[in-house]
Chains A and B, each alone.
Chain A
Amino acid sequence: MLRKILIATLGAAGLLAAAPAQPVQAAGAGHIEHVNWSFEGVFGTFDQDQLHRGWQIWTGYCAMCHSLDYFAFRNLEQIGFSEEEVKEIAAEYTITDGPDDTGEMFDREGIPADYWPSPYANDEEATYINGALPPDLSVITKGRAGGPDYVYSYLLGFDDEPPEDQTVPAGSYWNSAAHMSVKMPPQIFEEMVIYEDGTKETPEQHAKDITAFLHWVAEPHLDERKGTGIVTMLFLLVLTALLYALKKQIWSRVEH
């Protein structure tokens, strides 16, 4: 009996260890490609260089249309930017603040404590200009079945022809990951940014890098979580083994 329970538990733990951290669920008929992410699995962590590359793409492209409401400039310190650098970066952006003592709103330079400024005044404006609302991307990799794989596939999913039974309206683009016509124009192309670390500027690399960056924004504590998790599991393993030994010892007094 006991052995069975132990085996079942270890089995369950093993399954968990083998399972990818993000469930890859079938998302309708869409085509989703699996990528080997650095942050996958029990020991996976973010690759800081990759996050920096993704940040380049974010500021250069996606930020034109998408908001990133839960991201503050100071968060950049977590991925290796210095306090000074973060100050400089924040200062490049204009933040609308106020009202001041006279009741007027005013513009000022950004500071590290500011959250990422949205490109549009409100959802209505964003929708009007783009034909559809570009969703906030702060938790996008957790908010789609398939997770980061989906976002990656979505970004590269503009090459296929739509199936025969689908018509693509003017101003829309067929996306094979979403498996429908979408209002976002294709965004990823070769050498869209120049990487300083020598990484090849292929479309696939760009899509991976921006997706990894977005996953970091969605799950900023991932590295810390897994680190704490490993220590916790080791602790529990030892504790449980000791409790088991104690249980054996105490029960040896009972006849059965």
Chain B
Amino acid sequence: MSAMMDNKIVKWVDSRLPIFSLMDEHGIEYPTPKNLNYWWNFGSLAAFVLIVMVATGIFLAMHYVPHGDMAFASIERLMREVDYGWLLRYAHANGASMFFLVVYIHIFRGLYYGSYAKPRELLWIIGVVIMLAMMATAFMGYVLPWGQMSFWAAKVITSMFSAVPIFGEDLVVWIWGGFSVGSPTLTRFFSLHYLLPFLILALVFLHVWALHTTKSNNPLGIDIKGPQDTIPFHPYYTIKDLYGIGVLMMLFMGFVFFAPNYLGHPDNYVPANPMVTPPHIVPEWYFLPFYTVLRAIDNKLLGVIAMFASVLILIAVPWLDRSKVRSLSFRPIMKIFFWLFVLDTLILGYIGAMPAEGIWIPLGQASTAYYFLHFLVILPLVSMYEKPRPLPESISNPVVKDTQDQAAATEAK
């Protein structure tokens, strides 16, 4: 127990509402593996960006007008007339990109070190639900400035629901609140865009609760054997996480101050116009891989299903992976396929930014096929047949007899 718990006031409150015990147990004493590398910073980075998003968003909402005739102008006024309005707006817009960057790395970390595997399946699934909620939030947020890309992204994405059999058309009219995307659509998107981040906060709470129940995984992917394997969260990981935040902030503020519109699309500085369709409708960079999956199949309904499946398939990963060994550090074959998979998602993203014509169509189809092949065939088969390298004895004693001999042998050569 930390010294804080000896304080009289703390004791008084704590015996009535054990909020200090909770903080002590989960924020200070929480036993954390001592060998976590920097990839484990990305969870706290995500939480940090989430807070930045909520904080900037609340202030933006004080100046934003969710109406088709005023939304674009209200944001221009905010950026020009409100003190540091430009900073609020650029921080929020670039913050969304930082959020996805950080969370994507967080997910790849989980895939590499087998953090989804038993007993962390629920922790992982909550993570996937968070990602879905983030995608919905980001999409609706992008509509709010009511520029050309906002409008046409809203149109393209909501129209996907018309692929639903039988009542698809009615469903779309219901979502729009009219017979096309318009002011009623914008107003409801604003309402939901304000609501969803708080849902994400609640999900993050569950996520961390599950984490603290199963405890953190670690780069070796082996279980904590005893107190010699762990260190208290504070000060070790609090300082490490703070350092990570400093590094992320430099990247983040680099965009905000020196290239605030670099990640955006110029068409979103053209007010929404239902009569003029932009030549290329492209989503934000973080949706590009999914956009390629959507367009890979020449059937609206199947395309939409494939796109949703490409996210939802993550839920099945704990069961698709048959290996007893979590960390890919000890699974040389799966490791190669992991990096191929990373490459595939990058290719999917690249193709998402290209027009759906010529060579890009078959390339998009091939990389989409590989995406699903990775999860449905490669992951189960390799994990069943691959012989993993021997695991170290424990976190505090990370030596393996075999590998040591190997290392000695190579050194002798």
Contacts and interface: CB of A to CB of B under 8 A. Distances in A.
Q: Do A and B come from one complex?
A: yes
Interface of A: 1-2, 5-6, 9, 12-13, 16-17, 19, 21-23, 25, 28, 42, 69-70, 135, 138-139, 142-145, 147, 218, 220-221, 225-226, 228-230, 232-233, 236-237, 239-240, 243-244, 246-247, 250-251, 254, 256
B243 A28 contact: no
9 contacts: A16-B251, A42-B258, A69-B73, A143-B270, A144-B266, A221-B79, A225-B86, A240-B250, A250-B235
Given A143-B267, A251-B240, 17 more contacts: A19-B262, A22-B261, A28-B279, A70-B76, A147-B266, A226-B257, A232-B253, A233-B254, A239-B246, A240-B243, A243-B242, A247-B239, A247-B240, A247-B242, A254-B231, A256-B34, A256-B35
Contacts of A250: 235-236, 239
B258 A226 contact: yes
B236 A16 contact: no
A99 to B, nearest CB: 20
A220 B240 CA distance: 39
A233 B253 contact: yes
Contacts of A9: 247, 250-251
Contacts of A147: 266
A145 B266 contact: yes
A9 to B, nearest CB: 5
Contacts, number: 111
B13 interface: no
A21 B254 CA distance: 11
Nearest to A16: B254
Nearest to B263: A23
Interface residues of B, number: 39
B260 interface: yes
Contacts of B79: 221
A225 B250 contact: no
B258 A247 contact: no
Contact of A221 (B86, B255, B259): B86
Query: Which of B242, B255, B267 has the most CB atoms of chain A within a 10 A radius of its CB?
Result: B242
B38 A2 contact: yes
B258 A236 contact: no
A246 B239 contact: yes
Contacts of B251: 9, 12-13, 16
Contacts of A22: 261
Interface in B227-286: 231, 235-236, 239-240, 242-243, 246-247, 249-251, 253-262, 266-267, 269-270, 279
A22 B86 CA distance: 16
B242 to A, nearest CB: 5
Contacts of A225: 86-87, 90, 257, 260
B80 interface: yes
B37 interface: yes
A160 to B, nearest CB: 21
Contacts of B246: 236, 239-240, 243-244
DSSP majority for the A interface? Answer: helix
A157 to B, nearest CB: 18
A187 to B, nearest CB: 21
Contacts of B389: none
The 7 closest A-B pairs by CB, nearest first: A229-B257, A240-B246, A143-B269, A142-B269, A243-B243, A16-B254, A139-B269
B250 A23 contact: no
B225 interface: no
Given A147-B266, A225-B86, A70 B80 contact: yes
Given A13-B254, A21-B259, A232-B253, A247 B243 contact: yes
B387 interface: no
A229 B261 CA distance: 15
B324 interface: no
Contacts of A256: 34-35
A218 B270 CA distance: 12
Contacts of B38: 1-2, 5
B355 to A, nearest CB: 11
Nearest to B246: A240
Contact of B256 (A145, A220, A229): A229
B279 to A, nearest CB: 7
A254 B239 contact: no
Contact of A1 (B34, B37, B236, B250): B37
A96 B239 CA distance: 61
Contacts of B35: 256
Interface in B60-100: 73, 76-77, 79-80, 86-87, 90
Nearest to A20: B259
A251 B258 contact: no
Contacts of B262: 19, 21, 23
Contacts of A239: 246
A21 B236 CA distance: 38
A20 to B, nearest CB: 8
A70 B81 CA distance: 10
Contact of B34 (A138, A144, A230, A254): A254
Query: Which of A2, A220, A236, A237 has the most CB atoms of chain B within a 10 A radius of its CB?
Result: A236
B239 A233 contact: no
Contacts of A21: 258-259, 262
Nearest to A5: B38
Contact of A143 (B254, B260, B266): B266
